[in-house]
Amino acid sequence: MTFKIVFRKYIFGVLVFLVPLTNAKAQLAEPDSIRGQVDVRDVVRKMRNKPPAPPDTTQRQSFFSVLPSAGYNPSVGFQLGVSSVGGCYFGDPATTTYSTFHWNAYASTNKLASCEFSHNTFTPNNVLNLQGKVEIGRTVAFDYGVGTGKKHQGDGEFSLNGVPLANNSDVFPINFTYIKFDEHIYRKLFTHVYAGAGVVADWYTGIDNIHNESHNFRSHNFRYSMIKGYNPRGYMASGMLFNLQFNSRDQPNRPYKGVYADFVLRVNQQWLGSTKNAVQLKAEARKYVSLSKENPQHVLAFWLWGNYLLGGSIPYLELPGTGSDVANRIGRGYTIGRFKGFSFAYAETEYRFPITSNKLISGVLFANAQTANNRRNIKLYEYWEPGGGAGLRFLFNKYSRSAVCLDYGVGHYGSKGIFLGLNEVF
């Protein structure tokens, strides 16, 4: 979905300014693995003529920072916000995965606002893994319709972090208020394998086409809602989640090796408040291969992601597509929501490599492709929309491997843009 349209976070120069305000206590995973590395905090301490921060030999202290966000686009207006990231170990680092937390909020001059909190928490020895997210706000979706393989007039405008910087006459910006909640818990069955369950609720209200053309009669949301029996002004999708996961990654923020696979069966039910019943399957797989023992930051990474409607009906703003992963970063090279469908599949490959010997700056090269159906004349896997590009990484905290990401991506039909974020895309 297209729910986070403020272009997100973390311009490098602003980060450097804010580092002195952050809590620099961080867990030390492997002293040998970070020897000689320099992060943004080290640079700032040197600029301020301060000695290097002592390492955390307890390996248990937390890392937490507060970062600003700001930007502008015609549909959203001027935006100001704040974002915080953090993490810690809740058990022995040798047997417990690093837990991460993320919170952000913003407000704009066009009376749009958003607040979000997410977490990925591991109990000692990884016996339990709790994952969840809560979002609330009023935002805007840029709607191109359903399915891949369709050129839209006016494509080629520049975007920043998936937000168009100019309005497009063939695209329907849709304002709406939303509340999204999901929480699921995994229990460890045996090494690297987890099973779990959870609940999810996505509520949309006050849906309004910005063009205000005859009460949205021309908007894709209005037409879809009328055909499928939804109130075009608001609806809800809520139900249960059943999960199976395999996770052997060495670290969640920037893995050098390992495999991550997650299969989620989502069952929307009217008795749980959903407007209609539906069954969806989300399947995700990631593989990380380090190309050098001496320099493990040379990594080939592979990502497969799919969301498939198995039965029933889902509301328009629930259709999976570009940017509909948990972090809203699928499909660099295109605006959020550029492609969507009843079912959606995605593939990406990335090469990650250090640029400076102290690992302060590294780079990535990436290529991706996405496909979606419309259950009429466009089939899944019939049309693939390619994307690709390159980016820089600025090591923000060497202990947690957190990095500021700056990518430039291009796509089909002249699509192109800059994408900002914290930590790797996958």
Give pLDDT tens digits for 232-264.
999 999 999 999 999 999 888 899 999 999 999
What residues does each domain of the chain span? 12-422
The tens digit of pLDDT for each residue in 41-69 reads: 788 778 887 776 666 555 555 666 677 77
With a pLDDT cut of 90, the percent of the chain lying above it is 49
User: Rounded to an integer, what distance in angstroms lies between the CA atom of residue 268 and that of residue 265?
Assistant: 10
The tens digit of pLDDT for each residue in 101-149 reads: 888 898 988 888 999 999 999 999 999 999 999 999 998 888 888 999 8
Element at 170 (helix H, strand E)? none
User: Rounded to an integer, what distance in angstroms lies between the CA atom of residue 52 and that of residue 63?
Assistant: 16
Q: What pLDDT does residue 328 have? A: 84
For residue 212, the 8-state DSSP code is: -
pLDDT band with cut points at 50, 70 and 90 for residue 320: very high
Q: How far is CA 82 from CA 41, 70, 88, 99, 404, in A?
A: 19, 9, 21, 21, 15
pLDDT mean over 336-361? 94
pLDDT band with cut points at 50, 70 and 90 for residue 270: very high
DSSP-derived 3-state class of residue 366? strand
pLDDT band with cut points at 50, 70 and 90 for residue 12: very low
Mean residue pLDDT across the chain: 83
Q: What pLDDT does residue 24 have? A: 38
The tens digit of pLDDT for each residue in 274-316 reads: 999 999 999 999 999 999 988 999 999 999 999 999 999 999 9
Is the pLDDT confidence value at 21 over 70?
Answer: no
pLDDT higher at 57 or 376 = 376
Is the pLDDT confidence value at 221 over 90?
Answer: no
58 burial level (CB within 10 Å; 0-12, 13-18, 19+): exposed
Q: What pLDDT does residue 238 have? A: 97
Cα angle 162, 166, 167; round to 5: 100
φ, ψ of residue 272 in degrees (nearest 5) = -100, 10
User: Rounded to an integer, what distance in angstroms lies between the CA atom of residue 84 and that of residue 65?
Assistant: 5
Backbone torsion region of residue 189, taken as left when φ is above 0, otherwise alpha when ψ lies between -120 and 50, otherwise beta: alpha
pLDDT band with cut points at 50, 70 and 90 for residue 28: very low
For residue 321, the 8-state DSSP code is: B
Is the pLDDT confidence value at 163 over 50?
Answer: yes
pLDDT higher at 226 or 350 = 350
Is the pLDDT confidence value at 408 over 70?
Answer: yes
Q: What pLDDT does residue 20 have? A: 37
| CATH code given to domain 12-422 | 2.40.160.50
Please count the residues of the chain. 426
- Which residues have CB under 8 Å from 68's CB, separation 6+? 9, 14, 18, 80, 81, 82, 83
DSSP-derived 3-state class of residue 394? strand
